[in-house]
Amino acid sequence: MNLDLNNDPDAARRAADQMAVCLARELWDGERVFHGVNSPLPMVAIFLARKLHAPHSVLIEVAGSVDPEPEGLPFSTNDPKLCEGAASLFSNADAYDLFSRGGVDLLFLGGAQIDKAGRVNMSYIGDPAQPKVRLPGGGGGSVIMEQARRVVIWRVVHDVRTFVSKLDFVTQTGNLTRIVTPLAVLELIEGGLEIESAHPGVSAVEVAANTGFALDASRKISVTAPPTQDELAALEVIDPEGVRYSEFSALRRVKRWDDEMLRW
Amino acid sequence: MVSKLISLQEAVALVEDDEMIAMGGNTLSRTPSSFARELVRQGRRGLRLIKTAGAYDIDLLCAAGAVAEIQSGYIGYENVFGMAPSYRHGVESGAVRVVEHACYSVIAGLRASSYGLPSQPINGFDGSDTPALSDFRYIDDPYTGKKVLMIPRIRPDWGVVHVQHADAEGNARIDGGPFEDILISRASEGLIITAERIVETDFFRKKPERTNFPAFMTRAVVHAPGGAAPASCYPTYDIDVDAVAAFLQAAKSPETLRGHLDEWRERDYSGAIKAAGEAK
């Protein structure tokens, strides 16, 4: 892969900005949107979209509020700061109930393993009875992924460990439309994931080489629209601390203990 | 007035080995951290833990070998620190049994208990391997015939929540997001409250609509200033990132873990154990 996201800070920064704007563009004005815990890029993207093209969207905040206006964005996406400036609280149970009655338009989710059908494993690597890796779990995912109108997944690594032909465990599935990675935007078409666009400087061949299931090589693939000047300027305003960079090991100020262990 | 204000040590001594505890708070927010540390100091074993989304408290109890089973939707430190290493090790080594859940199914199980029912219907889990793994079962809805997933009741022996304000009788209030703490209090056999501040009952009488926990439901109150640290307690203190990092280092061996507990002992025991006006 030309992009060395683990060691090249500039490449990682460009990828993070590209991913943030791709995710932001998924939120349409007036929609209700939700992100989970441990979701820095979606959180930044939602605040970006609300500043730019989706000012009337409603953010159902996992930290327990509606439409917060915090002073700055925290590194924990479940931080109580994400209740600041909100006119009302709305607990997790409230949010899940809202999903359950079909009241949420867009959900951003992560995924440790993803298959061609867009199903997601957040639970185990290996046999669940004797797992090689116990993953954190899907949070609310196995309920809300099938309740949200649209689901967009983000993942800061695009490799054959993530995009697999067979999941070790199906934690959750349902209503997936797109996946945003540092290399490309994938879309779910007729039950299977295909490349919609490759990011500037990335070839379809590269995307395919880093994807563990087959992609249709005959499809016409566009180049992802790069971040506009307006989008980049707005990103700096809403996220001067660089929360959007925090998922990339090349840009992390502290070395995360599990960066190595996660290479199962 | 019947004071339920007791020391942290006395409150933790109420919990017996093998009991089920629902921990309040969420990931690194309003975690009952001092309570979790004292459970370890007192050598509790075989605990069955309930938490929608957990981090330090669950990871610490796993590091100490205090845990037999966990029912949760997510255990991890989020962004900066990643997964919970001691929890991972506990599960991967077979020492800790996991009942795989979504956060919402943990809530459903607690609701069943809160409502006095054996189980609770829930939407979701279509196409998921979780119901089979966790033995969650379906019934036919008697009115529509629709297949409905039923989550079995989760009835903790103890609910433990850390709040900003409590009085000595056990009235208590949360500032900011309540997470699942109110549900936990209704679902559990006994409720133990640890609080940043012990206030007079008049504090609650002035705004009873802000009282989340009425005194009659509370079994014990502990004055625990800083009791959520190194997690945050809105609006008084943020996540102590350095202290979380230090814990993750300390959790690597029994000796250093003991050092971690010793280091926090004085702060954990710093609360008042007599209500204002009571004889000292």
Q: What is the pLDDT of residue A86?
A: 96
Distances (CA, A) of A144 to A89, A193, B132: 20, 20, 18
Q: For chain A, which ranges sit under pLDDT 50?
A: 1, 260-264
- Collapsing DSSP to helix, strand or coil, A113 comes out as strand
What are B224's two structure tokens? 């625990």
Average confidence (pLDDT) over B124-145 = 97
Return the residue of B nearest to A122 by Cα.
Answer: B74
Whether residue A31 lies inside any domain: the answer is yes
Average confidence (pLDDT) over B135-142 = 98
Q: What is the pLDDT of residue A263?
A: 46
> Using the beta-carbon criterion (under 8 Å), do A139 and B103 form an inter-chain contact?
yes
pTM of the entire predicted model? 0.94
Q: What is the pLDDT of residue A254?
A: 55
Averaged pLDDT of chain B: 95
Judging contacts by C-beta atoms under 8 Å, the chain B residues touching residue A94 are none
- Out of B80, B103, B245, the one facing A140 most closely (by C-beta) is B103
How many angstroms separate the CA atoms of B67 and A133, rounded? 18
| ipTM topping 0.90 | yes
Do residues A239 and A40 touch, judged by C-beta distance below 8 A? no
- Out of B124, B232, B248, the one facing A146 most closely (by C-beta) is B124
Element (H, E) at B96: none
- Collapsing DSSP to helix, strand or coil, A62 comes out as coil
Judging contacts by C-beta atoms under 8 Å, the chain B residues touching residue A128 are 100, 129, 133
Å between B47 CA and nearest CA of chain A: 19
Whether residue A169 lies inside any domain: the answer is yes
Q: What is the pLDDT of residue A5?
A: 79
Do residues B204 and B213 touch, judged by C-beta distance below 8 A? no
Instruction: Report the share of chain B in percent with pLDDT over 70.
Output: 98
Other beta carbons less than 10 A from residue B145's beta carbon: 8
Q: How many residues does chain B have?
A: 280
Judging contacts by C-beta atoms under 8 Å, the chain A residues touching residue B29 are 63, 76, 78-80
Locate tokens 């640890």: which residue? B194
Q: Check if B52 contacts A (Cβ < 8 Å).
A: yes
> Using the beta-carbon criterion (under 8 Å), do B102 and A141 form an inter-chain contact?
yes
Inform me whether the pLDDT recorded for B279 exceeds 50. Answer: no
> Using the beta-carbon criterion (under 8 Å), do A131 and B123 form an inter-chain contact?
no
Average confidence (pLDDT) over B68-94 = 92
Q: Check if B132 contacts A (Cβ < 8 Å).
A: no
Nearest CA among B152, B146, B192 for reference residue B19: B192
Tens of pLDDT along A119-153? 999 999 999 999 999 999 999 999 999 999 999 99
For B8-116+154-268, CATH number?
3.40.1080.10
* Domain ranges (residues) in chain B: 8-116+154-268
Average confidence (pLDDT) over B114-132 = 97
Whether residue A63 lies inside any domain: the answer is yes
- Out of A137, A174, A254, the one facing B72 most closely (by C-beta) is A137
How many angstroms separate the CA atoms of A178 and A174, rounded? 12
A65-66 and B158-166 strand pairing: unpaired
Inform me whether the pLDDT recorded for B93 exceeds 50. Answer: yes
Do residues A237 and A51 touch, judged by C-beta distance below 8 A? yes
Do residues B25 and B196 touch, judged by C-beta distance below 8 A? no
Contacts A–B by Cβ distance under 8 A: 177
Q: What is the pLDDT of residue A28?
A: 98
Q: How many domains does chain A have?
A: 1
Q: What is the pLDDT of residue B211?
A: 98
With b for 16 or more beta-carbon neighbours within 10 A and e for fewer, the B2-37 pattern comes to ebbbbbbeebbeebeeebbbbbbbbbbbbbbbbbbb
Q: Which residues contact A39 (CB under 8 A, 6 or more apart)?
A: A62, A77, A108, A110, A154
Identify the domain containing residue A94 by its residue range: 9-261
Tens of pLDDT along B167-189? 999 999 999 999 999 999 999 99
Q: What is the pLDDT of residue A1?
A: 47
CATH for A120: 3.40.1080.10
Q: What is the pLDDT of residue A249?
A: 79
CA atoms within 13 A on the CB side of B250: 19
Judging contacts by C-beta atoms under 8 Å, the chain A residues touching residue B180 are 91-93
Do residues B154 and B109 touch, judged by C-beta distance below 8 A? yes
Whether residue A1 lies inside any domain: the answer is no
Distances (CA, A) of B266 to A222, B74, B122: 62, 31, 44
Do residues B4 and B170 touch, judged by C-beta distance below 8 A? yes
- Collapsing DSSP to helix, strand or coil, B98 comes out as strand
With b for 16 or more beta-carbon neighbours within 10 A and e for fewer, the A125-138 pattern comes to beebeebebbbbbb
Whether residue A2 lies inside any domain: the answer is no
Whether residue A200 lies inside any domain: the answer is yes
Q: What is the pLDDT of residue B278?
A: 59
Q: Check if B125 contacts A (Cβ < 8 Å).
A: yes
Return the residue of B nearest to A258 by Cα.
Answer: B82
> Using the beta-carbon criterion (under 8 Å), do A170 and B94 form an inter-chain contact?
no
How many angstroms separate the CA atoms of B21 and B190, rounded? 10
Distances (CA, A) of B180 to A33, A157, B99, B220: 21, 32, 18, 19
> Using the beta-carbon criterion (under 8 Å), do B122 and A143 form an inter-chain contact?
yes
- Out of B72, B107, B128, the one facing A142 most closely (by C-beta) is B128
Judging contacts by C-beta atoms under 8 Å, the chain A residues touching residue B235 are 80
Q: Check if B276 contacts A (Cβ < 8 Å).
A: no
**Among B29, B59, B196, which would you mutate to test the A interface (most chain A Cβ atoms within 10 Å of its Cβ)?**
B29
Q: What is the pLDDT of residue B274?
A: 73
